Chains A and B, each alone.
Chain A
């Protein structure tokens, strides 16, 4: 079992909280981006040709990557670090007792 020594729990908690906030912001921006791309597709894809379709395709891949990988990973990371910070605090208290 890996043993981690955390020197600065406050710092860990703050970073973890920031990460969670960034994940939410990314999620919101990704949803907005998906909506805008949908509008662009519906209005112009047929008349604008292959170039536009290619940009949209690339951006769609980015959206998938953000929604399916980046945001869930950041959330998971943040959650795990929060648990780690809490456990560290409990252990610190136990040691003091």
Chain B
């Protein structure tokens, strides 16, 4: 099974919404068809409408019956997760205790061990001294390091992370629309050039607020982590599945394909975008969505973190 608990809960909630939405929308559509039929005073159209109405009733019944079964099945799977998670909770508590003891020493780079996603990993002390560790606000250390060879001393990206704190107070939550800021997610290494390119694409795609910029970059990283999104090799592009390739692959982000990101290159992306990208690469996310469309695509979705930002689904 490749699906995690958070994603399973999100999908189950979405299924419940769909169950309600489709039935309601079909009924509303049917009412409009009947209204039009009455406006035209056509017996032929009226008969056709009756047939459509009957078909829709059968469809709604079949949908509801089977969706309820799938919802029930997913609830069972969620409960199973909660039972088997006891061990994970125990392990997590131990990790947090150990992290607290490391933090209290104020010398985490000098210790022989540190956390990575999934458990404890021994590392070479000297090697650790040459690395900058991204630390989530929740106290979980990210799994990857920003190595000195990739970032020059004095680089803002490096310094911010070197403070061992990510300021997430600038981000807002909208749980009712699926936006919750989380830390400790998968982290990524980028070269300065790659970071600049990613910032330019996010700047061209977002409304430049912290929230929408984080939303855009989260979408890119979610795609990297979703086994059902693009498999580059399968579609004939023999390249690594990483944020840059996800953002620049043909048919993905139109702003890159059309060169609309160019004006934000060379450090010209707004500070809010640069921070959002930097935080996301260090493990911050604000949703589980895999796609978004522009604000004027009103038929696409109403899941927005800002009123002027993208619509996520």
Does B36 lie within 8 Å of A23, measured CB to CB? no
Q: B residues within 8 A CB of A40?
A: 70, 73-74
Given contacts A22-B25, A25-B21, A70-B59, contact A16 B73 (CB under 8 A): no
Report Cα–Cα, A62/B25, bound state, in Å: 15
Partner of B15, one of A16, A33, A51, A77: A33
- B62 within 8 A of partner (CB): yes
Report Cα–Cα, A40/B2, bound state, in Å: 10
Given contacts A22-B32, A36-B11, A52-B73, contact A29 B25 (CB under 8 A): yes
Partner of B33, one of A19, A29, A51, A62: A19
What is the minimal beta-carbon distance from A23 to any residue of chain B, in angstroms? 7
Q: Which interface residue of A4, A19, A38 has the most chain B CB atoms within 10 A?
A: A19
Report Cα–Cα, A65/B33, bound state, in Å: 18
Does B70 lie within 8 Å of A28, measured CB to CB? no
Does A11 lie within 8 Å of B39, measured CB to CB? yes
- A86 within 8 A of partner (CB): no
- B258 within 8 A of partner (CB): no
- B170 within 8 A of partner (CB): no
Q: A residues within 8 A CB of B52?
A: 73
Partner of A55, one of B41, B69, B77: B69
Does A44 lie within 8 Å of B1, measured CB to CB? yes
Within 8 A of B (CB), among A2-59: 2, 4-8, 11-12, 15-16, 18-19, 21-26, 28-30, 32-33, 36-40, 42-44, 48, 51-52, 55-56, 58-59
Does B313 lie within 8 Å of A32, measured CB to CB? yes
Given contacts A19-B32, A26-B29, contact A70 B66 (CB under 8 A): no
Partner of B1, one of A32, A36, A43, A66: A43
Within 8 A of B (CB), among A64-86: 65-66, 70, 73-74, 77, 81, 84
Please name the residue on chain B nearest to A84 by beta carbon. Answer: B40
**Known interface pairs A18-B28, A74-B33; 9 further A-B residue pairs with C-beta atoms within 8 A, sorted by A's residue number:** A16-B36, A22-B28, A24-B299, A25-B25, A39-B228, A55-B66, A59-B70, A77-B36, A81-B36
What is the interface of chain B, defined by CB distance below 8 A to chain A?
1-3, 11, 14-15, 18, 21-22, 25-26, 28-29, 32-33, 35-36, 39-42, 44, 52, 56, 59, 62-63, 65-67, 69-70, 73-74, 77, 228, 299-301, 313
13 contacts between A and B (CB under 8 A): A2-B42, A12-B36, A15-B35, A25-B299, A28-B313, A30-B22, A32-B313, A33-B15, A39-B11, A42-B228, A44-B77, A62-B66, A74-B29
